[in-house]
Amino acid sequence: MVSVLFVCLGNICRSPMAEAVLRHKISERGLSQEIVVDSAGTGDWHIGKGPHEGTRRMLDQNGIGYEGVKARQVQSDDFEKFHYIVCMDKSNGSNVRKLPGGENAKLLFFMDLLPEEELREVPDPYFTGNFEQVYDLINAGCTVLLELMIRENL
């Protein structure tokens, strides 16, 4: 069993999109019993809410389900529970590091999965409005992440 937690700021745009996309790819590969996927935000404003309308639109357009995906805040015991903690941008990473136990979290930055891209952070579509761009990055990065997890852990 291997587990991955995506982290963004609000947990309604980028990280729930990544959660749904990766879970879909895992299911297509028949690996749902082997890999646990979740997402969380460093902020607490949207706890309990489903994904943002823009995220839902991209998932709907691509036939990806998001049933039960609900915002929550990242917490210290996530650092023990999850093998990979994948942050969408640098500030998410520094906020995780500041939490108790965060200095030990095994952090990855999402854009490190896509070294050929000039962008080094996943832009926040809550502010840019560009959910298409974020979907394309997340879709490509999740393919790389799944291959990495298969190579290293399964």
State the residues that interact with ligand 4NP by CB under 6 A.
8-14, 41, 45, 124, 126
Please tell me what DSSP assigns to residue 6. E
Residue 80 CB, nearest distance to ligand 4NP (Å)? 23
Residue with tokens 């879970």: 23
Least distance (Å) between residue 30 CB and ligand 4NP: 29
Q: Which is nearer to ligand 4NP, 129 or 147 (CB)?
A: 129
In the set 14, 23, 78, 87, the catalytic residue is 14
- Closest-CB residue for ligand 4NP? 10
* Least distance in angstroms from the C-beta of 127 to ligand 4NP: 7
How far apart CA 111 and CA 84 sit, in angstroms, is 14
- The string of DSSP codes covering 111-150 is GGG-TTSS-SS---HHHH--HHHHHHHHHHHHHHHHHHHH
- Verify whether residue 8 is a known catalytic residue: yes
Q: How many contiguous H segments (helices) and E segments (strands) does the chain have?
A: 6, 4
Q: Which is nearer to ligand 4NP, 44 or 147 (CB)?
A: 44
Q: Which residues are catalytic?
A: 8, 14, 124
